[in-house]
Chains A and B, each alone.
Chain A
Amino acid sequence: MASADSPADGHGSADDVPLAVELRGITKRFPGVVANRDIELRVRRGEVHAVVGENGAGKSTLMKTLYGEHRPDEGQILVDGREVAFRSPADAIAAGIGMVHQHFMLADNFTVLENIVLGSEPTRAGRLDLAEARRRITDISDRYSLGLRPDALVEDLGVGDRQRVEIAKVLYRDARTLILDEPTAVLVPQEVDELFANLAELKREGLTVIFISHKLDEVRRVADSITVIRRGTTVGTADPRTTTARQLAELMVGAELPSPEVRTSTVREVPVLQMVGVTVTDAGRRPVVDDVTLTVREGEVVGIAGVEGNGQAELVDAIMGLRPLTAGSVLLGGEDVTGWSTRVRREGGVGFIPEDRHRQGMLLDAPLWENRILGHQTRPPAVRGTFIDRRGARADTARIMREYDVRAPGPDTLAVALSGGNQQKLIVGREMSAKPRLLVAAHPTRGVDVGAQAVIWELLKDARAEGLGIVLISADLDELIGLSDTLHVMLRGRLVASLDPRRVTPEELGGHMTGARTTAGAA
């Protein structure tokens, strides 16, 4: 059963064995954003405990807190029943907590043995004691059936083997509790099976595993208990034996919808964006966007749902001209723009709210009025001919700040000084000011506070009513369902389902996103 909103129920175990890890009321704030709020987590010794939640829900922040990478603003961390305060990962390691990162941190040109001992080398009389290192690594490998070859070069290893080396690194440092951050994200199914076998070994030896994931089926296979995080806080715990993936999805995405349900369709007939058979391949010639055909009409919000990393970012790049297409074409208002540069496309009326505003949307060390110019370097009011119109840019920045409620001292303030929500409102205001035909909005409300979120939603709705076509990519299912006129689900680079947002429920959508449901079940 799933016991929503009462975290304590799931762990009413009567035994007096102290919990391996317990977090009480953890709150972590970053400027302008509360990443974690009142987190409650109880992990028993010797279990595999899954922490699930959407991307951006605050899982990583929480694990960084537990691993000592930053300190919580409020709350307590207890390890084996004793309260601890980690100042650095070294403290966490000393307390027996180890982290296996999603992105491996291995030196390719070192052997397995060298990588494992790196940073805590056994020495004898000041010299590296390879014999001792080899003995301990072989011991760990045998005990947990990791099958390590100490002398193999890491660059010759496959992904699964590398992950086992990472796990061995943590075990070598005498970790009793292992945090695995999205360990299956990089693995193929067979490797996932091997990993789960390894986890079973760890469990058998009495170690504790905290398993971060958003893949519900995997979580249900491997976990002994589950804690669900949504929007920065723990919303419940679940027993994987009695909880269905559907119930989990419900917990994960929340049931409530954000906006008033009264929706009048503003969709017109004229298409603004057409993508025909668009395929984008990565460096290894693997298709990351696979034969996507998509139409966005005037006044239409087309939502793209999907678990992150299924090609959404590359789809955005393809629309913006940031990444070459392997096949297919992109049409803007009926005109083939496949060969156009990003700048020409922007001039042609494409607005862009990027997924990572710090990386793609702003110049953090520049004042707001220069950020107003960014992406609009060729258009008034920021520019006159070949020259920058500073007065015009400053005045228009002041207008955006007023109209879009950007809270900052003035146009000369550095962008870095603004909270995430205010930065995002500036970006939205900037893109809207150019009167685009098409807006590509990737996670437009990610990492912004609730107030700014509501403002941005209203802005998007108003613009849609005025005939703007919007491509909305989001991990927030409420947002997708609440705003979209048409909803596509993207899985492994393909659009696998088209749903009616008026009828679909978050849990149905979640099912499609994880591939648990097939197109046959779609509306």
Chain B
Amino acid sequence: MSGLARRLGLSLLGPVLAVLVALVISAVVIALIGEDPIEAFRVMVDLGDSPSQQVQSIVVVLNRAVPLFLAGLAVAVAFRMGLFNIGVEGQYRMATILAAAAGAAVALPGPLHVLLVVVVAMVVGAVWAGIVGVLKVTRGVSEVISSIMLNFIALGLASFLLTGPLRGSPPGASIVTTSEIPESGRVPSLNGLLTALGLAAPRSGLYGFLVVAVVVGVVVAVLLQRTRFGFDLRATGLSPSAATASGVDARGMVVKTMLISGGIAGLIGLPDLLGSQYDYGTEFTAGLGFLGIAVALLGRSTPVGIALAALLFAFLDRAALPLQFADIPSSVVTIIQGTIVLAVVIANEIARRLALRSAERAGASAGPGRDAGGDDGAPPPPGPDGGQRVRTGAPGTPEDVQA
């Protein structure tokens, strides 16, 4: 087995085991509430009968996965630095409402209009997250506390803005929204691409924002793994004291990382906003920030892992509706998601210890002439994945996963 395959295998082992364990536990739970687990799983993987239904299901999964992916990235960037940004929820809600208002307020030619919305969202998200960073650096406030508190403020502020100054829906309407973003500010769907590929046209449009998400994912991957800044960031996450001694300005890094994390968080609401909703309202998708934490954990804070995790979560979310049609409580999905996250936390820690032990054995057998000579001739595994500490989202060797 080549080194690459071995490392891939080791880094996948944890999450795959976790998903399997979660499925077993969920099956037991489904059986306990008096439903047939096999039937439930069958319903969940059934994408539909006709080709157009199947394509539609896949589009629904992808459309859900795009914001989840962005949310996971936002959390993961902070994770890799050892920061726990719980405030992604508030950051994207603030960003989305202000971006929606800005998009509705102006009229610009197509691409520029979209760009303006994106920039406003990223700036608002970054500023909201930046508050957390500045508080931590100047006053020593834990980012966990301040970001949770800012979530409440953001939700309250968004409600106020929606019902007050930014209200666009007519008085008395059942759903309160901002004004609609005009055609020029919307991102066209990728359905043309699907039909060009010979697939049946789905009922709803595949978000064009998918492309933006992929680009953001690649940029983040390059930033973290290939740049000096990313090295400083990861070094700080691995060992703040060693990073400081190496010349990293820890305080500056905290603020910069929070700004990046918040900037990405600002994008989370845009796929829905620019792809299907065109306004921010009381019914706008909520909870993506918190799901992002789960997705980042499951994806071990690496862009590729997060993409896979987002797809898995989106796939499970899609199953909620068919489950209800089959008279099975859709909260089964939430139970599976919850158990996956719990199992992944445990599996990651186990995988980390296993990798550490094999690394230590390798090191012991590599150096002859020392007292702690290797007790067996174990072949030295070439840099096994060090697993991931949940606290820091520490990297193993994820760069090879993307390669």
Q: How far is the CA of A523 from the CA of B4 in the complex (A)?
A: 62
B327 adjacent to chain A (CB < 8 Å): no
Q: How far is the CA of A417 from the CA of B383 in the complex (A)?
A: 9
Q: Is the CB of B363 within 8 A of A365?
A: no
The residues in A between 345 and 377 inclusive whose CB is less than 8 angstroms from any CB of B are: 345-347, 352, 354, 359-367, 370, 373-377
Q: Is the CB of B245 within 8 A of A361?
A: yes
B214 adjacent to chain A (CB < 8 Å): no
A418 adjacent to chain B (CB < 8 Å): yes
Residues of A within 8 A of B139 (CB): none
Q: How far is the CA of A363 from the CA of B80 in the complex (A)?
A: 13
Q: Is the CB of B369 within 8 A of A361?
A: no
The residues in B between 358 and 378 inclusive whose CB is less than 8 angstroms from any CB of A are: 359-360, 362-364, 366-372
Closest Cβ–Cβ distance, residue A428 to chain B (whole Å): 15
B219 adjacent to chain A (CB < 8 Å): no
Q: How far is the CA of A373 from the CA of B238 in the complex (A)?
A: 14
Closest-by-CB residue of B relative to A31 is B372
Residues of A within 8 A of B386 (CB): 365-366, 414, 416
Closest Cβ–Cβ distance, residue A443 to chain B (whole Å): 14
Query: A449: which of B226, B231, B245, B370 is its contact (CB, 8 Å)?
Result: B370
Q: How far is the CA of A341 from the CA of B253 in the complex (A)?
A: 14
The residues in B between 365 and 403 inclusive whose CB is less than 8 angstroms from any CB of A are: 366-372, 380, 382-384, 386, 394-397
Q: Is the CB of A320 within 8 A of B245?
A: yes
A29 adjacent to chain B (CB < 8 Å): yes
Given A32-B370, A419-B372, verify A377-B232 contact (CB < 8 Å): yes
B229 adjacent to chain A (CB < 8 Å): yes
Q: Is the CB of B226 within 8 A of A362?
A: no
Query: A414: which of B234, B245, B370, B384 is its contact (CB, 8 Å)?
Result: B384
Residues 371-398 of chain A: 1 if any B CB is under 8 Å from the residue's CB, otherwise 0?
A: 0011111100001001110100000000
Closest-by-CB residue of B relative to A407 is B367
Closest-by-CB residue of B relative to A418 is B363
Closest-by-CB residue of B relative to A369 is B383
Q: Is the CB of A408 within 8 A of B249?
A: no
Given A360-B241, A363-B238, verify A412-B383 contact (CB < 8 Å): yes
The residues in A between 391 and 435 inclusive whose CB is less than 8 angstroms from any CB of B are: 407-410, 412-414, 416-419, 421-422
Q: Is the CB of A29 within 8 A of B397?
A: no
Closest Cβ–Cβ distance, residue A468 to chain B (whole Å): 19
Q: How far is the CA of A497 from the CA of B369 in the complex (A)?
A: 41
B25 adjacent to chain A (CB < 8 Å): no
Q: Is the CB of A377 within 8 A of B246?
A: yes
Q: How far is the CA of A410 from the CA of B363 in the complex (A)?
A: 10
A492 adjacent to chain B (CB < 8 Å): no
Q: Is the CB of B245 within 8 A of A322?
A: yes
Q: Is the CB of A341 within 8 A of B383?
A: no
Closest Cβ–Cβ distance, residue B254 to chain A (whole Å): 16
A71 adjacent to chain B (CB < 8 Å): no
Residues of B within 8 A of A421 (CB): 370
Q: How far is the CA of A73 from the CA of B362 in the complex (A)?
A: 21
A343 adjacent to chain B (CB < 8 Å): yes
Given A413-B382, A416-B359, A449-B371, verify A366-B244 contact (CB < 8 Å): no
B308 adjacent to chain A (CB < 8 Å): no
A159 adjacent to chain B (CB < 8 Å): no
Closest-by-CB residue of B relative to A362 is B242
Residues of A within 8 A of B235 (CB): 363, 366, 370, 374
Q: Is the CB of B368 within 8 A of A407?
A: yes
Residues of B within 8 A of A366 (CB): 234-235, 238, 386, 395
Residues of A within 8 A of B371 (CB): 29, 32-34, 449
A521 adjacent to chain B (CB < 8 Å): no
Residues 36-65 of chain A: 1 if any B CB is under 8 Å from the residue's CB, otherwise 0?
A: 000000000000000000000000000000
Residues of A within 8 A of B363 (CB): 31-32, 408, 413, 416-419, 422
A260 adjacent to chain B (CB < 8 Å): no
Q: Is the CB of B238 within 8 A of A365?
A: yes
Q: How far is the CA of A387 from the CA of B239 in the complex (A)?
A: 21
Residues of A within 8 A of B238 (CB): 363-366
Q: How far is the CA of A386 from the CA of B369 in the complex (A)?
A: 41
A126 adjacent to chain B (CB < 8 Å): no
Q: Is the CB of A414 within 8 A of B359?
A: yes
Interface size on B, residues (CB 8 A): 44
Given A32-B370, A359-B241, A367-B397, verify A387-B227 contact (CB < 8 Å): yes
Residues of B within 8 A of A346 (CB): 246-247
Closest Cβ–Cβ distance, residue B233 to chain A (whole Å): 11
The residues in A between 72 and 130 inclusive whose CB is less than 8 angstroms from any CB of B are: none
Q: Is the CB of B370 within 8 A of A374?
A: no
B356 adjacent to chain A (CB < 8 Å): yes
Query: B245: which of A33, A342, A364 is its contact (CB, 8 Å)?
Result: A342
Residues of A within 8 A of B3 (CB): 412
Residues of B within 8 A of A413 (CB): 359, 362-363, 366, 380, 382-383
Q: How far is the CA of A386 from the CA of B222 in the complex (A)?
A: 11
Given A365-B238, A365-B394, A409-B382, verify A375-B245 contact (CB < 8 Å): yes
Q: How far is the CA of A170 from the CA of B372 in the complex (A)?
A: 35
Query: A386: which of B229, B247, B372, B397 is its contact (CB, 8 Å)?
Result: B229
Q: How far is the CA of A370 from the CA of B241 in the complex (A)?
A: 16
Q: Is the CB of A364 within 8 A of B372?
A: no
Q: Is the CB of B248 within 8 A of A343?
A: yes
A158 adjacent to chain B (CB < 8 Å): no
Residues of A within 8 A of B367 (CB): 32, 407-408, 418-419, 422
Q: Is the CB of B239 within 8 A of A364?
A: yes
Q: Is the CB of A388 within 8 A of B228?
A: yes
Closest Cβ–Cβ distance, residue A86 to chain B (whole Å): 22
Q: How far is the CA of A102 from the CA of B227 in the complex (A)?
A: 43
A12 adjacent to chain B (CB < 8 Å): no
Q: Is the CB of B228 within 8 A of A409?
A: no
A189 adjacent to chain B (CB < 8 Å): no
Query: B239: which of A29, A347, A359, A422 is its contact (CB, 8 Å)?
Result: A359
Q: Is the CB of B228 within 8 A of A387?
A: yes
Residues 24-45 of chain B: 1 if any A CB is under 8 Å from the residue's CB, otherwise 0?
A: 0000000000000000000000
A284 adjacent to chain B (CB < 8 Å): no
Closest-by-CB residue of B relative to A393 is B231
Q: How far is the CA of A386 from the CA of B223 in the complex (A)?
A: 10
Residues of B within 8 A of A449 (CB): 370-371
Query: B227: which of A29, A364, A386, A417 is its contact (CB, 8 Å)?
Result: A386
Q: Is the CB of A341 within 8 A of B397?
A: no
Q: Is the CB of B242 within 8 A of A342?
A: no
Q: How far is the CA of A354 from the CA of B238 in the complex (A)?
A: 17
Residues of B within 8 A of A417 (CB): 359-360, 362-363, 366
Closest Cβ–Cβ distance, residue B237 to chain A (whole Å): 9
Closest Cβ–Cβ distance, residue B68 to chain A (whole Å): 27
Closest-by-CB residue of A relative to B244 is A322
Closest Cβ–Cβ distance, residue B364 to chain A (whole Å): 6
The residues in B between 202 and 259 inclusive whose CB is less than 8 angstroms from any CB of A are: 225-232, 234-235, 238-239, 241-249
Q: Is the CB of B226 within 8 A of A375?
A: no
Q: Is the CB of B359 within 8 A of A352?
A: no
12 A/B residue pairs, CB under 8 Å, sorted by A:
A29-B371, A29-B372, A32-B372, A343-B247, A360-B241, A364-B238, A365-B396, A366-B234, A366-B395, A374-B235, A409-B366, A417-B363
List 6 other contacts, CB 8 Å, given A386-B229, A387-B226, A388-B228.
A30-B372, A341-B247, A343-B247, A366-B235, A370-B235, A417-B359
